[in-house]
Amino acid sequence: MRILVVEDDRELNRQLCEALEQAGYAVDTALDGEEGHFLGDTEPYDAVILDLGLPLKDGVTVLREWRAAGRDMPVLILTARDRWSDKVAGFDAGADDYVAKPFHMAELLARLRALIRRASGHASSEITCGPLVLDTAGARVFKDGVPLRLTPMEYRLLAYLMHHQGEVVSRTRLTEHLYDQDFDRDSNTIEVMVGRVRKKIGKDMLQTVRGLGYRLSPPGGE
């Protein structure tokens, strides 16, 4: 899962990135509205954390322009606690949720997880696929009740596929959603990682669809 953080407070931006990376996300950042708008308009994100009080271009304008361009990724806005009018403006511009500053990081992460789940059609904090259970709150995957030993990148790949189970996901799409902008991306690495994950969950669950990509489905599923 790949997240964009648009926040001009450098210390808060750093704290958000650190917390998100520890939670298993790939993170890109921007410190002003123009850079944030460009990234959100040109890169695929699973969700965006967007401050409204940004230099160069304010958050409401950024969000309104994304929505006008058809960018539909979930957006969580950050607002000042006493500026209820900002919350209204954010929702009217196309925001999905908000957190008021100052906030508890655990609440922000929980709201972000919920947005990502809902965007892929999942309501519960636990996502099931056959014998696999993804605990999104704890960033763990269980098989038949036993936790799988996964590297951070293996977890990120499996979590993305579980959010999109049943879909054929191309290597390009996986590469775009598993790595941040600065990572030296190599789609061949995806193939190696898929092979490792397949050994841990069972080869019948993670299928290669020749020429198209990969599909995660329950044993015996199509």
* Largest separation between any pair of C-alpha atoms in the chain: 54
Region 87-116: mean pLDDT is 94
Element (H, E) at 198: helix 187-201
Per-residue pLDDT at 221 exceeds 70: no
- Mean pLDDT, the chain, integer: 92
**Which has the higher per-residue pLDDT, 3 or 24?**
3
- CB burial of 100-131 (b: ≥16 within 10 Å; e: otherwise) equals beeeeeeebbebbbbbbbeebebeeeebebbe
The model's pLDDT over 117-174, given as tens digits with 9 standing for 90+, comes to 999 889 888 999 999 999 999 999 999 999 999 999 999 999 999 999 999 999 989 9
CATH code for residues 126-216? 1.10.10.10
Given a contact cutoff of 8 angstroms between Cβ atoms, the answer to whether 125 and 137 are in contact is: yes
> β-strand 2-6 against 26-30: which pairing, if any?
parallel
Q: What is the pLDDT of residue 189?
A: 84
Rounded CA gap, 79 and 77, in Å? 6
Q: What is the pTM of this model?
A: 0.88
Q: What residue ranges do the domains of the chain occupy? A: 2-119, 126-216
The CATH fold assigned to 2-119 is: Rossmann fold (3.40.50)
